[in-house]
Amino acid sequence: MSRDTALELAVDYFDSGHFRDDLARRVAVPTQSQDPASGPIQREYLATQIIPDTERLGFTARIEENPVSPAHPFLIAHRHEGDGLPTVLTYGHGDVQLAHPDQWRDGLDPWRLTIEGDRWYGRGTADNKGQHTVNLAALEQVLRARGGRLGFNVKLLLETGEETGSPGLPEVCARLADELRADLLIASDGPRLAAERPTLFLGSRGCTNFTLRYRARVGSHHSGNWGGVLRNPATVLVGALATMVSGDGRLLVEGLRPPPIPDSVRAALGKIEVDASPGSPAIDPDWGEPGLTPSERLFGWNTLEVLAMTAGDPDGPVNAIPGEARAHCQLRYVVGTDAADLEPIVRAHLDAHGYPMVEVSVQHRMAATRLDPEHPWIHWALGSLERTTGKEPGLLPNLGGSLPNEAFADVLGLPTIWIPHSYAGCAQHAPNEHLLGSLTREALQIMAGLFWDLGEIDRVP
């Protein structure tokens, strides 16, 4: 029994077709969480696709009701091996984005796993069924390699509402904080930095969506009869936006700018390139905060984006001053930003710049998280990935996008390590979603190696 045995078993699991079979039956359950009628399907997924597999591995599993959104239940499972052993919490989500089957290319069905060369198509293959299937299977192979032992305790939390903003996840973590107590989180979601580069990330940027709106008056008014004496809401709104973000993308709202990039984060980002694979857009070198590298601007800084804006009817303009104008905006931000106070900060900013008439309303917020790249668990995990693959893994302090990591990092207070098993071109959330077979085969080895190494630790760092 050795680490190599665990890795060989993981490869066998893939090469023998067992991974394909496990993934195919999971993809076949249409767990679209944005469909309000999907509650029974989410339950079915947990009850038929996950619970029997975890019980086979010696877990005690149950479905936990969601206190915020009943249609999106959780699965909680435990496998306790010994009191003095390290305990890992792992996480995944069983739900998927709406599939829109008619938009998939001919020959593909989102609910049927279809393999074409290295691409394995199906809704949820990349996000997140393929990823949690890899991690559960790696646990199983380590158990076999050690003759029925892992050498650590495992807790599993699977949610079914991630694609609707993880309703109830922080609440359930707070309520079950004792039960979910662990030494660290190891979970998988999202893309690698590049398909061939094993990657580890430690959190994600936060995200707050908000609307700016100026309602000047009811209805529009003829621009010939009134132009020059009526304030134009579109002009006012554009002026207000220009005080918040410059024409070359620099965030100007003082209270929403991030603290200086910590040295350890800057050092990690120095080894990372922004994705430049075929199909990715060419980045603009002169956009955003001056003096930062592209990876610092994307992963180490904040950005204010205008997602959509409207005044009048852009598809049928008339000669009139519109009655109102609206812009839907988003702040993506790193740890250390006071985004919980975004509304009063933007309000004060607009007032100070002469725009008290522009209303601010905040819709949705996801917190920023980031474990210190110098944390001892990170050295341990990087070493494990390197030992398994012979490659230098990419260390990303936080994803540019957002993940519900707040529940683990802040509510449960865990060091959080994410090991993604997908890549940027996977079409996650879009038609023709797929995983890469070659990447998945490597991911199974990575996770088997990592879980093997966790069982060898005699002292939690």
Q: Closest distance between Zn ion and the C-beta of residue 95, in Å?
A: 9
The nearest distance, CB 419 to Zn ion, in angstroms, is 16
> Segment near Zn ion (CB under 5 A), from 123-131, 262-270, 293-301, 365-373?
123-131
Binding mask 256-295 for Zn ion (x = CB under 5 A): ----------------------------------------
Tokens for 202? Answer: 């430690």
- Give least dist CB 428 to Zn ion, A: 6
Piece in contact with Zn ion (CB under 5 A), picked from 126-134, 274-282, 398-406, 444-452: 126-134
Comparing every residue's Cβ against Zn ion, the nearest one is 127
Rounded least distance, CB 9 to Zn ion, Å:
30
Nearer to Zn ion, 164 or 440 (CB): 164
C-alpha span between 175 and 411 (Å, rounded)? 10
Distance of CA 104 to the CA centre of its chain: 23
Gap between the Cα atoms of 233 and 214, Å rounded: 6
Strand order in the sheet with 394-396: 60-64, 74-79, 153-159, 87-93, 184-187, 416-418, 199-201, 394-396
As measured in angstroms, the least distance from the Cβ of 332 to Zn ion is 16
Q: How far is the CB of 124 from Zn ion (least distance, A)?
A: 9
Query: What is the smallest separation between the CB atom of 430 and Zn ion, expressed in angstroms?
Result: 11
Q: Which stretch binds Zn ion (CB under 5 A): 127-135, 168-176, 291-299, 318-326?
A: 127-135
**Residue number, 126 or 417, with CB nearest to Zn ion:** 126
User: What counts of helices (H) and strands (E) characterise the chain?
Assistant: 14, 19
Structure tokens at 410: 């802040």
Residue number, 204 or 232, with CB nearest to Zn ion: 204
Stretch in the footprint of Zn ion (CB under 5 A) among 75-83, 125-133, 250-258, 331-339 = 125-133
CB of 96 to Zn ion, least distance (A): 8
Q: Judged by CB, which is closer to Zn ion: 34, or 60?
A: 34
* Nearer to Zn ion among residue 127 and residue 406 (C-beta): 127
Instruction: Judge residue 52's burial from the number of C-beta atoms within 10 Å of its C-beta, 0-12 exposed, 13-18 middle, 19 or more buried.
Output: exposed
DSSP 104: S
Segment contacting Zn ion by CB under 5 A, of 18-26, 120-128, 223-231, 246-254:
120-128
What's the rounded Cα separation, in Å, for the pair 147 and 158? 26
Closer residue to Zn ion (CB): 127 or 442 = 127
Query: 161 vs 455, which CB is nearer to Zn ion?
Result: 161
Draw the binding track, 74-113, toward Zn ion (x: CB under 5 A; -: no contact).
----------------------------------------
From 56-64, 72-80, 124-132, 340-348, give the range in contact with Zn ion by CB under 5 A. 124-132
Minimum CB distance to Zn ion, residue 190 (Å):
8
Quote the tokens at residue 146: 């050690």
- Smallest distance from Zn ion to CB 162, Å: 6
Instruction: Tell me phi and psi for residue 211, to 5 degrees.
Output: -115, 135
Instruction: Return the number of the residue (166 or 302) whose C-beta is nearest Zn ion.
Output: 166
61 Cβ partners below 8 Å, 6+ apart? 50, 51, 54, 55, 75, 76, 77, 78, 156
For residue 404, the minimal CB distance to Zn ion (Å) is 11
- Measured from the CB atom, the residue of 94 and 415 that comes closer to Zn ion is 94
Q: Are 204 and 405 in contact (CB under 8 A)?
A: yes
Among 64, 95, 127, 433, binds Zn ion (CB under 5 A): 127
User: Residue 306 in contact with residue 329, Cβ under 8 Å?
Assistant: yes
Q: Does 433 bind Zn ion (CB under 5 A)?
A: no
| Cβ nearer to Zn ion, comparing 132 with 144 | 132
Are residues 422 and 194 in contact, defined by beta-carbon separation less than 8 angstroms? no
* Residue 268 or 399 having the CB closest to Zn ion: 399
Question: DSSP assignment of 271-332, as one string?
Answer: T------TTSPPP-TTSSSTT--HHHHHHSS-EEEEEEEEES-TTS--SEE-SEEEEEEEEE
Question: How open is the CA angle 121-123-128, to the nearest 5 degrees?
Answer: 105
How far apart are CB 205 and Zn ion at their closest, in Å? 15
Residue listed under structure tokens 């959104």: 69
Cβ pair 81, 155 in contact under 8 A? no
Question: How many CA atoms lie less than 13 Å away from 144 in the CB half-sphere?
Answer: 17
Nearer to Zn ion, 64 or 127 (CB): 127
Residue 408 vs residues 129, 185, 296, 331, 353: alpha-carbon distances, Å: 20, 7, 25, 22, 39
Side-chain-side CA neighbours of residue 355 (13 Å) = 26
Q: Of the ranges 122-130, 283-291, 323-331, 343-351, which one interacts with Zn ion (CB under 5 A)? A: 122-130
Total number of residues that touch Zn ion (CB under 5 A): 1
Residues that bind Zn ion (CB under 5 A): 127
